[in-house]
Structure 1
Amino acid sequence: MGKPVRFKHKKKHYTLPEPGTTPGFVFIDSSSLKPKINFYSFSASVFNMVQLNSLLDITNKTKNKDLFYWVDIKGLNSAELFNVFSEELKIHKLVLEDITRTYHRPKFEEYDGYNFAISRMLRLGEDASLENEQVSFIQTKNVLYTFQETYEDCLDAVRNRLKEGKGNIRIGGTGYLMYALMDMIVDSYFSILSKWSEDMDEIEDRLLTRPDKSVMYETQLVKRNLIAMRRVVWPERDKMNDILRSDSHLISEQTKMFIKDAYDHCVQLMDMVESMKEIASSNIDMYLSIISNRMNEIMKVLTIISSIFIPLTFIAGIYGMNFAKQDPVTGKVMPANMPELYQAHGYEYTLLVMAFIALVQIIFFWRKGWFK
């Protein structure tokens, strides 16, 4: 049997502006990271990547309408960056507010000339804790902007496909690229659930062989992580449905066919999460039942022992009162006292009677099946 599975739950704390601030206020958290900007330009036969220091010259780099562009931004600690989006690219301030406040649920919104979407990237940390990061998308006709809180390269799989030019990713436009990134995020949920499923199998094996308190604690942590994932998968499914129902010209009908597949994945994830939640709940109930049954077995053993010794204790208590039939000093006969106290072989007879009573009780309990 392997080592007990250890889970940790990290609750992310967000630094928020004061209540009552103006809607659309772009809040820059002082603890956030400085932005790193990777600029990708691509077509069916072209792929280039450069690192940018700022977005001030982005309009000059995206003038070629024969190419598609992906601007990958990691780190949000730059008021200048969001001023460029607001003043130069005419992105609505409510969108920029949602990007900088990284606690939003997945969603999809249409604006004049661009689409805005949010996904939640989940991954397991080194200590098996669940890390939850917001990934935001701004999609225009030729440019896709992505925003991440950290420098973690959670989009590397799609980046490799883009570099190698596999499939439709270079020719499908920014809509298909956004779908590919969202689909990769959704697919990563399957690997997390698979890991949790293996861990729950190990917990269940321990539950059936050597249950202890850690089984209940670890199962509860798995259940809590499943609830956290459910809060992500449910709106992710709704977001995919919103994209399918969208009339935006920025998302082609061909791309929507692929999004249907991502929608099906979200439905499948919901089924898996609900099933695993039920298994986790049943494991906790089973642990409590096992502990209760174990306690009942202990109480049954104690009851059998007590039932055997109660009549023996009663007999010993009666003959331990020492009310003699005759006063050993004066020789006076005491009426209605114990005539057996000085009877020959009384000790042996009493032990035999007590042993007989105990034997009869043991046979009775055995025939009732109490010793099974």
Structure 2
Amino acid sequence: MKSVFILFVFFATAINLLAQQKTYNIVTYTAPNGWTEKAGKGNISYSNIDGGTWAQIVIYKSMASSGNIAADFDKDWNELVAANKTISLPEKTSPKTTEGWMVISGSGTWSYNGAKVTSQLTVYSNGQVSISVLCNSTNKSFLNDYQALLSSMVLNAEKAQLGSDTKNKAEVDGLPAAIHDNSIVGIWIVNQAESNGFINGHLMYTGGYMRKEYQFNDDGTYVFSEKNWLAVKETIYFVYETGTWVMNGNQLTITPKKGEAGWWLKDKVTNDVNKWGIFQEASNYKLQTATYMLEIKIDPNYSNSIILNSKKATQRDGGQLNNPPYRFVYVQRKETLIDNPPGFKL
């Protein structure tokens, strides 16, 4: 009877493990036991809630690789992690090779509903395709399941369907290549908080910020604004630009008509980040027409985002300190974050 019982336990365990074997896109893996599975657009995710703690693991659909694992990681970190939240810079591992794939993992912390969240992103690239796995968690205990999933992964690059996922296509997460004009109507922002290092593992924020914002109107006009209030600076930098936009397939062309930029003093009495001082001087701001290859990311958990792919750095979006390709990510928002200086008129 004891031998029969042991044999039964063996087969029951084997059946349970087999039942959790999953294949998504180019990866076969063992799904975390007891986690809730959800199929999304361009990803599959697993979630677990244990009392007041929670975690989410997301496997994203493979994409065309840039040919450089570090560039692939930076792109996915900016688009999948940092674009939707204020998060610390990632602490990254050195590139490693396993089964013909290069691997980089990085982690950062941020706050959500008062809880400290750790985001750990692992990116695999063979120079042709790349695939990313993300874990958001509020407790280190969940990372064991994340590491177990990574250890179980088997990647098959031959299964990659690159036709609709290369950077030169606009089809992202199931969206058609011909993007409708009204897809980008609304407000899209970049909101970066100024920080001043870590204390006891916690990122220390100064209260300062760097914000950029597009407002695309359904009449084909737009407003672009930028406001930088930094604790390390004595002045506020402000940009305001208007013009027209037009979509041609998946190409977005922005043509400015008017624009001004300059520096304002801070409110010296309160040093309030929401208050303006007096105008100091104008900036040498150049109007620049630019055409972008547009991508749209649908994220029901946080916010949708648009990615403006450009062959060169732009006056509005930046990129002057980086190397191409340039990918500028803006997150959707219902209301503006940037206020104009008192009495400002363009």
Question: TM-score scaled by structure 1?
Answer: 0.20
Q: Which has the higher strand share?
A: 2
RCO higher in structure (CA 8 A, sep ≥6)? 1
